[in-house]
Amino acid sequence: MLGFLAWSPPVAADPPVTESSRAATRPLAGRLIVLDPGHQLGNSNPKFAKQMSQTMFNGSIVKGCNTSGTATNAGYPESTFNWRVAKRLKTLLEDAGARVEMTRTTNSYDDWGPCVWDRAGVANRLGADAMISIHGDGAGSSSKGFFAIAPVRINGWTDDVVAVDRRLAKAMIAGMIAAGAVPANYVSGQLLLSRDTTSLNLSNVPTTTIELGNMRNAQDARRMSSASGQEQYARWLLAGLERFFR
């Protein structure tokens, strides 16, 4: 039951919301972004060996359904890192006005996949404005920092998106570096062109894969394993996407 209405002092009216102030606070309004946290914890579960053994031609080579990904030397799994950054980024993107869909909704040893071709299918079906595949690398211990992967031209497969994918990758690189992300010291210009990445070859919307750090490098591994580091990666990815849509 409502006993009484508390008196509250008059407050100053909010300043009028103008188009430019709306754009400043919700710069991604109207954008549909698919986040693809790479791998899945259960991909390494032997009970899913049959699902993992599925293959498909990707325009270049025959590739498997998915893999279990890498890990830090202490055993922190890439799939969990990818998942946590994606979840955090989803919130940041929604705060910036975007609609966000994920290619997987769990990170569990009791789940597998989805296969990489189905991840591209999610973005295609939705007609997303962009898809970002989030990964961590497993390179030599002195390699560190982030880089982007974009497809090469394969007629009938990537010719429709190769230019916009390149533009997305470059916007991510520039936006992330401007926001303070550590550029890879082992990939020239932080851009790797790939002929064999299934999600890039099958996607019909602007797509890039970002390898956020090297889990086998002590410095990167520390950042990638901590909640505050994951928050930082999410903010760097947000800066890249804002650059792309600016």
* Active site amino acids: 211
Give the range of 100-108, 110-118, 128-136, 150-158 binding Zn ion by CB under 5 A.
128-136
User: Which tokens belong to 79?
Assistant: 């799939």
Give the range of 63-71, 96-104, 212-220, 223-231 binding Zn ion by CB under 5 A.
63-71
CA distance 92 to 8: 33
CA distance 201 to 152: 9
Residue among 37, 69, 151, 213 that touches Zn ion (CB under 5 A): 69
Residue at shortest CB range from Zn ion: 135
Closer of 96 and 210 to Zn ion (Cβ): 210
Closer of 69 and 206 to Zn ion (Cβ): 69
Helix (H, G, I), strand (E, B) or coil at 24: helix
77 binds Zn ion (CB under 5 A): no
Closer of 96 and 203 to Zn ion (Cβ): 203
Choose among 102, 105, 107, 88: nearest CA to 236.
Answer: 88
Count of residues touching Zn ion (by CB under 5 A): 3
Give the range of 131-139, 142-150, 172-180, 229-237 binding Zn ion by CB under 5 A.
131-139
119 binds Zn ion (CB under 5 A): no
Dihedral sign for Cα 134, 104, 222, 88, please: positive
Residue among 31, 104, 119, 135 that touches Zn ion (CB under 5 A): 135
CB of 133 to Zn ion, least distance (A): 8
213 binds Zn ion (CB under 5 A): no
The one-character DSSP state at 186 is S
Closer of 28 and 145 to Zn ion (Cβ): 145
Pattern 157-176, Zn ion, x by CB under 5 A: --------------------
Token pair 């880089």 in the structure block, residue: 147
DSSP states of 192-240: EEES--HHHHH--S-EEEEEEEETTSHHHHHHHHSHHHHHHHHHHHHHH
104 binds Zn ion (CB under 5 A): no
DSSP states of 66-87: -----B-TT--BHHHHHHHHHH
Choose among 200, 222, 204: nearest CA to 213.
Answer: 222
Query: Binding to Zn ion (CB under 5 A): which residues in 9-38?
Result: 38
* Inter-helix orientation angle 227-245/78-95, to 10°: 50
CB of 39 to Zn ion, least distance (A): 6
- Where along the sequence are the contacts to Zn ion (CB under 5 A)? 38, 69, 135
